[in-house]
Structure 1
């Protein structure tokens, strides 16, 4: 049978989603735990790969197994063998033709930026930080130029292995919530470091180092060397995946906004 699972994790404790030779990937921890429940080795396939230090409020993955277990056994049993910074949230049996990555229609991320002169102690490793006031309205205006289908080479990591730099961004929004700036992005897929690179450029807009037209020009120039530095991974969260309703999955999205940010 094929099982889909929803996953939450604190990325600071891992070297990204993907399996690592030293076993320090999120995938490694989950495969070890699920194998103890199944009594056999399993291979996980995720909706999207997150980099080292990047978190997930709702990652979706699937695995195949010849072992029959109650669905709550995949949740409770796996969590009993996982470190506290990663949890299986739900499990659902899915059709044989479901694939966590290839069945996904869109993926969503949020970047949470703490904008205050002093870095937060209680949120260390969980949010990005910038110490000077930022012009939110200018950043919001610049984000609108990202919507639609574009060649995002200006915001693509040099080591990105995607076959094409073209992506379709369906949502790009920013709101201030107390001392926090919360960026929300949704696209059919993302390039390596794309969001952190876009946030880095948007912070330049907020500082006044780039105006909106210069930000738009960066996108059109398609040259990563001309764009501002990549922003820290701490505040980036994978928040959900969009699938067709026909797959009958549990809720596949979560929202950092639901946390108390007073």
Structure 2
């Protein structure tokens, strides 16, 4: 059988989603070890995305195959009993064999959360990116609007990004403000390595007054990463959703992070 999983995790103490060399903690290997214990055979999971070191998720979707017969509670409650406190399975759902968490996803969604305050917060440590210089929210919103649509995002991807195609379609990039928190909410048909973090870095530079909002248009035109801004910290980034065709009938939960949900 094939099962889809909904996963949330706090990525501060992991080297990212993908399994690393032995002894290096990753989200994937931690979950695989627990599922393998419950299934009593080796389990490999495939995810909708691969988050970097220190990046979080509130709505990661993955899938795995098994010949083990276990009840719903055994998979879900059993896994959460063995998993560390900073990783949790939110749901498990049987799917057809043509489902694939990565290749069947039609869109992915991230949120980047900035704590804009003159003083840091111990309670938000690791959960947000702290930016102590005042940010002009309206300037950031204008700049963000230029990124919506189909563009070449060479200026917004990591130098080592291995994707052959730099073109992505950003469905929306909304900015909202809650007190000292600025939330970037972005959905696209796919993302390049460090794309969201580089976008956040550019928007913060514009919000701080280091560049005009039209700088975004220039970066899209030159298609050169060396002309872009600093890559923002991974601590404020959350993978919040993966979208699939409706025939798979996957469970839907409120978009996270959960501590931010009303």
Report the RMSD for the aligned CA atoms in angstroms. Answer: 1.3
Moved over 4 A (4+): none
Instruction: Tell whether 2:206 aligns with 1:195.
Output: no
Q: Say whether the 8 Å CA contact 1:2–1:94 is kept in structure 2.
A: yes
Show the counterpart of 2:129.
128
Q: Say whether the 8 Å CA contact 1:23–1:29 is kept in structure 2.
A: no
Show the counterpart of 1:17.
17
1:113-146 CA distances to partner (integer Å, 9 max, x unpaired)?
0000011111101100110111100100111110
Please give the alpha-carbon distance, in whole angstroms, between the structure 2 residues aligned to 1:153 and 1:253.
32
TM-score normalized with structure 2 length: 0.97
Cα distance change on mapping 1:156 and 1:171 into 2, 3 Å: same
Measured after TM superposition, the shift of residue 171 of structure 1 is 1.0
Show the counterpart of 2:108.
107
Instruction: Tell whether 2:142 aligns with 1:141.
Output: yes
1:161-211 CA distances to partner (integer Å, 9 max, x unpaired)?
112111110010111100100000000110000000000000111011111
Q: Say whether the 8 Å CA contact 1:113–1:130 is kept in structure 2.
A: yes
Please give the alpha-carbon distance, in whole angstroms, between the structure 2 residues aligned to 1:253 and 1:33.
26
Please give the alpha-carbon distance, in whole angstroms, between the structure 2 residues aligned to 1:252 and 1:148.
27
Show the counterpart of 2:257.
256
Aligned to 2:215, the other structure's residue is in SS state helix
Note the 1:145-184 alignment, pairs <5 A. Answer: 145-184=146-185
Note the 1:8-47 alignment, pairs <5 A. Answer: 8-21=8-21, 22-47=23-48
Measured after TM superposition, the shift of residue 257 of structure 1 is 7.5
Cα distance change on mapping 1:126 and 1:258 into 2, 3 Å: closer
Flag structure 1 segments of 5+ consecutive residues without an equivalent: none
Flag structure 2 segments of 5+ consecutive residues without an equivalent: none
Q: Say whether the 8 Å CA contact 1:242–1:252 is kept in structure 2.
A: no
Please give the alpha-carbon distance, in whole angstroms, between the structure 2 residues aligned to 1:245 and 1:70.
25
Please give the alpha-carbon distance, in whole angstroms, between the structure 1 residues aligned to 2:205 and 2:260.
27
Instruction: Tell whether 2:89 aligns with 1:88.
Output: yes
Measured after TM superposition, the shift of residue 109 of structure 1 is 0.3
Q: Say whether the 8 Å CA contact 1:57–1:254 is kept in structure 2.
A: yes
Instruction: Tell whether 2:61 aligns with 1:55.
Output: no
Please give the alpha-carbon distance, in whole angstroms, between the structure 2 residues aligned to 1:224 and 1:156.
7
Q: Say whether the 8 Å CA contact 1:239–1:253 is kept in structure 2.
A: no
1:16-51 CA distances to partner (integer Å, 9 max, x unpaired)?
000011241100000000011100101100000000
Measured after TM superposition, the shift of residue 100 of structure 1 is 0.4
Please give the alpha-carbon distance, in whole angstroms, between the structure 2 residues aligned to 1:50 and 1:24.
13
Show the counterpart of 2:227.
226
TM-score normalized with structure 1 length: 0.97
